[in-house]
Structure 1
């Protein structure tokens, strides 16, 4: 470790128990999304902690249509005007398998509980990293702006979308990093997403008069076939970005993740529907792929004279910053400085909120203490020491990008 790493470590390590206590209190806030409850209490806790750490803090009310309970963007600042670096995170979590997951437990150097990895643990590291950078004078002639949003787990349109819609993301920022559970890797790219609901309208008839009905289940099965072939085709088109060796490299399409329809077992179904959910590699043109899927559906429906409606329920572009971008090289150098080993760049197999910044031309990365393979599960956890190491990386990254 370098002299400045030692300086940051000397600031963070005596605060290790504070960090654990803060994460304990965050985990205890049941911010499950869906349905999106308990958000206001958690937002106020985050604002309070920011102020305690010497950061400027405010709650930004989210306006517009939504079904969330008291959603706020928690916005914090460390440093003065000048160069700008964004730290970004989300404080909602996926639903628990057991209510006991809202009581954090400490075992063998690990902290277990909902959100410890994804990503309340990341939030703790970001806030303490920003506080260390400010108190140690590492922000130079710039500032860190922290955005914590309430709805990443359900698409992020309400929270991060609000930031984008209201001009709260400055395109001149030097970089953005989100504390998603990347393990020891840096995620410099993420897939985009298209989700569809395909619905059919037919005519009901009793089984004894089935010939008079129009069977939407039959139409659904027919239309799904070319989409299943399309899913196989996309899976065979690998990305050029580096990925975890165990992860599939093609674009992923799931046909029929949810489906339904009909009124009874002995009645021709007059309605039916199924979903299509996809994660497209950054190389793909999502507008073109959406048109391809819609054309496949229309053409197959026409073959059987099916009445079909396609609803686009999600359209989120991918994100990608080259690994050799100066902002990426700086982050990798900080990771190596703290961990003592070269950093690895990988593409995240899912979607990340870095896309909202990437769309504005801001170099955007995911780097956090948690691990993706335990996130969302019954044994979700984060390593205590990784919280401190990651906070140190954030502090040093501020020093290098804001100098």
Structure 2
């Protein structure tokens, strides 16, 4: 595509999006009003219906794919799938409509002020979903797909591991490994997340024996054992924080593998009873250079050895084991995205490692180049004043439309 043609397409997309700014804002505010917090996984079916209606209005041919949660924890879990165009070559736009729990209920009443929309999920990532829907619609209506197609996947459980949503797409054969690329609208703040960390999460349970305080000598104090077992895990976390990645990072992100020890902990039955049980969690985000299987073995070996030192009865449950994912900046799909981002943002695109895990991994494992790119900002996501900039939403929508054009033309 010539530079003149690229400028022409960018002008056309901007001209299509700008008059729809109020429509984009209204849809985002409607989505925010659905309190699809996860956990516990409420209102997922209601949120999917709002998305289905919006996609229908935009001509994106939505369908609802019902999925089963074996635990029964999620409320009406389902995937919303749609498309723009009808050609053989395809690109995936992927997003999630569950949000982290709110700090207060008023976050589900979105506020539009000073060019921003404030509310739970605006940055992560209902605002990104709105940008993707309008980007796909713009690409179709402006004839940018040239016989190719965009397939949209919107899933309900990213905040709790994404095994049911994105995992179902993969296990059911709904991801075509021949796709040219995948992009998810995570809050990258305008950077391109071409790589993401892996995850290891554990729950450590310690079993003791209860006894009344007056006969404490007859009990086995699970809390004391917890303290002993947790110490080498804390030392391990400090060591891993010192092992730095070679990937570029977003400003303010730590270069080491990050672990939280004791994010959840508890135990005991009463203040005057020797605790007969205790537990704590370990949650890690591992740099792509690390061998997750080897680190999991090392971590569990540390726990077992510490338990053996004091005769503690310990069990370890692996609650999450997700690989890192990455696409080289030199890959043609990455270079194409960088060109488009540079043109829309009018500044050079920047690649960076995502500080957390991304659903790009489900696509990357099939050999599909996969990226995180969105208008939201990670530093405000999940916080009490979460917001997304409206102009950035429209720029992201333009990137999505033009990226499809770049890959599918």
TM-score, normalised by the number of residues in structure 1? 0.97
2:276 maps to: 270
2:27 maps to: 22
Aligned CA distance change for structure 1 residues 379 and 63 (closer, same or farther; 3 Å): same
Q: Compute the displacement of 1:331 (Å).
A: 0.5
Q: Compute the displacement of 1:395 (Å).
A: 0.4
Q: Compute the displacement of 1:245 (Å).
A: 3.3
Q: Secondary structure at the match of 1:12?
A: helix
Q: Does 1:249 align with 2:255?
A: yes
Q: Does 1:103 align with 2:109?
A: yes
Q: Secondary structure at the match of 1:2?
A: helix
1:293 maps to: 299
Match of 1:169 among 172, 175, 183: 175
1:214 maps to: 220
Q: Secondary structure at the match of 2:112?
A: strand
Alignment of 1:306-385 (within 5 A): 306-385=312-391
Q: Secondary structure at the match of 2:205?
A: strand
Q: Compute the displacement of 1:64 (Å).
A: 4.4
Per-residue deviation, residues 289-344 of structure 1 (Å, max 9, x unmatched): 11111111111111111111001111111111111211111001000111110011
Match of 2:232 among 210, 226, 232: 226
Q: Does 1:193 align with 2:199?
A: yes
Q: Secondary structure at the match of 2:84?
A: strand
Q: Compute the displacement of 1:209 (Å).
A: 2.5
1:159 maps to: 165
Q: Secondary structure at the match of 2:303?
A: helix
2:3 maps to: none
TM-score, normalised by the number of residues in structure 2? 0.96
Q: Compute the displacement of 1:398 (Å).
A: 0.1
Match of 2:57 among 52, 60, 63: 52
Q: Does 1:202 align with 2:208?
A: yes
1:261 maps to: 267
Q: Secondary structure at the match of 2:356?
A: coil
Q: Compute the displacement of 1:263 (Å).
A: 1.9
Task: List runs of 5+ in structure 1 lacking aligned partners.
Answer: none
Match of 1:93 among 84, 88, 99: 99
Aligned partners of 2:82, 2:308: CA distance in 1, in Å? 54
Aligned partners of 2:52, 2:219: CA distance in 1, in Å? 59
Aligned partners of 1:98, 1:280: CA distance in 2, in Å? 31
Aligned partners of 1:285, 1:161: CA distance in 2, in Å? 22
Task: List runs of 5+ in structure 2 lacking aligned partners.
Answer: 1-5
Q: How many residues align?
A: 403
Q: Compute the displacement of 1:19 (Å).
A: 0.9
Aligned partners of 1:354, 1:146: CA distance in 2, in Å? 14
Aligned partners of 1:278, 1:127: CA distance in 2, in Å? 33
Structure 1 vs Structure 2 CA RMSD: 1.2
Q: Compute the displacement of 1:365 (Å).
A: 0.5
Aligned partners of 1:226, 1:246: CA distance in 2, in Å? 28
